[in-house]
């Protein structure tokens, strides 16, 4: 297997754990990027990888993104992430979740887990039977539970900020948003945008999900192969990452890219390519911090739903800070945000 620290996405990660539990069949990776600001926190992704090396890359990239996300959101948390290597049938028995919970518990609080792609509140309850270092449990007083709606709200507010910055409009009413994905976060974004009068084009690898969301938001389902080249006011990537590369950026026909997916840029250089084309980019880990804000408030027990909302409503201000520094320095927003986050975690 490839030595992790030779991989391009290895970034002085503090710890990388490879977990194997033969009895349950669990194979997982827990990556801790930084604990400079507090215990590393980030969700668990349950996904089938064609190649194990892809899981390592995912864990490295996602954990670094969580360091940056938590720092930029002003949270007292470091960055971590876990991935469970699922079989092709995506089998997820309770024994496997229990084994994962024990693996998290052995880290003694250095890593706090929660939901990510392929995991839900029910799964977190199973994990919590083995460890207290878990969030995303059933909500109490509106804090906790599925982080997706909180992520969606932050992304929608970020889209409004981007539209105001790039297009001079205070509302998305009448604007065309090309939405990639029809999962939990994309659904929330679509419903918020539709309620304000936006026109939506929606694509997902599952056409039934895309059509269902299109029906719910008075939008239009389109082919996944067409969504990145659609002429629109905003492209909102809300599926998996690494979709913005040299080829796809050249085909974009939007003035704004603002969405909830993690690691949207295939490489750091792709942020500069967007900037060179005059496309305003909302750095993903800044705009999509709503979920981890809710998770942090739940885990630390330091506030109620009103505080969660207050923290999420600060996301547009942070984006404006990034764009302002980008304008004054000439650097692209992704590079600016990275530099800000690195300073906050003591690596700048």
Say if strands 40-41 and 220-221 run parallel, antiparallel, or are unpaired.
Answer: unpaired
**pLDDT averages per 10-residue partition of the chain, 348 residues:** 74 95 97 98 96 92 96 97 96 97 98 94 97 92 85 98 98 98 96 98 97 98 97 96 95 98 94 98 97 93 91 97 98 98 94
**Which pLDDT value is given to residue 269?**
96
Tell me the C-alpha distance between 176 and 202, whole Å. Answer: 11
Tell which residue, 151, 135, 155, has the closest CA to residue 143: 135
Cβ neighbour number for residue 25 with a 10 Å cutoff:
15
CB distance 73 to 313 below 8 Å:
no
**Which pLDDT value is given to residue 312?**
97
User: Which architecture, in CATH terms, is 4-69+78-128?
Assistant: 3-Layer(aba) Sandwich (3.40)
Same fold, 4-69+78-128 and 148-288+316-344: yes
Tell me the C-alpha distance between 37 and 77, whole Å. Answer: 5
pLDDT per residue as tens digits for the range 103-145: 999 999 999 999 998 999 999 999 999 999 999 999 876 788 8
**Which pLDDT value is given to residue 240?**
81
**Which pLDDT value is given to residue 2?**
56
Tell me the C-alpha distance between 260 and 155, whole Å. Answer: 6
**Which pLDDT value is given to residue 8?**
83
Q: List the catalytic residues.
A: 81
- pTM to 2 decimal places: 0.92
* 111 CB-contact burial (10 Å; exposed 0-12 / middle 13-18 / buried 19+): buried
**Domain range annotation of the chain:** 4-69+78-128, 148-288+316-344
* CATH number of the domain located at residue range(s) 148-288+316-344 in this protein: 3.40.50.720
Q: Please enumerate in sequence order all residues whose Cβ is within 8 A of that of 270, keeping only pairs 6 or more positions apart, or say none.
A: 244, 245, 246, 249, 334
Question: What is the 8-class DSSP label of residue 139?
Answer: P
């Amino acid at each position: 297997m490839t030595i992790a620290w030779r991989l391009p996405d290895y970034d002085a990660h503090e710890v990388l754990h490879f977990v194997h539990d033969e009895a349950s069949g669990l194979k997982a990776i827990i990556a801790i990027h930084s604990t400079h600001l507090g215990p590393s926190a980030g969700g668990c992704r349950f996904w089938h990888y064609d190649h194990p090396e892809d899981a390592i890359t995912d864990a490295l990239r996602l954990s670094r993104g969580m360091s940056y996300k938590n720092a930029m959101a002003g949270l007292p948390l470091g960055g971590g992430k876990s991935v469970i290597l699922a079989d092709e049938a995506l089998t997820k028995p309770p024994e496997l979740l229990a084994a994962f919970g024990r693996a998290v518990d052995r880290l003694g609080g250095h890593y706090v887990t929660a939901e990510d792609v392929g995991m839900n509140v029910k799964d977190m309850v199973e994990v919590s039977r083995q460890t207290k270092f878990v969030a995303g449990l059933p909500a109490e007083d509106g804090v906790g539970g599925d982080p997706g709606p909180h992520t969606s709200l932050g992304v929608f507010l970020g889209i409004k900020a981007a539209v105001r910055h790039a297009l001079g409009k205070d509302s998305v009413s009448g604007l065309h948003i090309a939405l990639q994905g029809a999962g939990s976060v994309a659904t929330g974004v679509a419903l918020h945008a539709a309620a304000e009068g936006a026109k939506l084009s929606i694509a997902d690898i599952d056409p039934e999900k895309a059509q269902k969301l299109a029906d719910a938001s008075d939008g239009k389902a389109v082919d996944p192969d067409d969504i990145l080249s659609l002429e629109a006011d905003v492209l909102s990537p809300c599926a998996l990452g690494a979709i913005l590369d040299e080829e796809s950026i050249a085909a974009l026909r939007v003035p704004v890219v603002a969405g909830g997916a993690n690691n949207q840029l295939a490489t750091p250089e792709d942020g500069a390519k967007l900037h060179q084309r005059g496309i305003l980019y909302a750095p993903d880990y800044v705009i999509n911090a709503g979920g981890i804000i809710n998770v942090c408030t739940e885990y630390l027990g330091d506030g109620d739903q009103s505080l969660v909302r207050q923290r999420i409503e600060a996301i547009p201000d942070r984006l404006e800070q990034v764009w302002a520094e980008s304008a004054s320095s000439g650097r692209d927003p992704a590079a600016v945000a990275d530099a800000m986050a690195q300073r906050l975690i003591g690596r700048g």
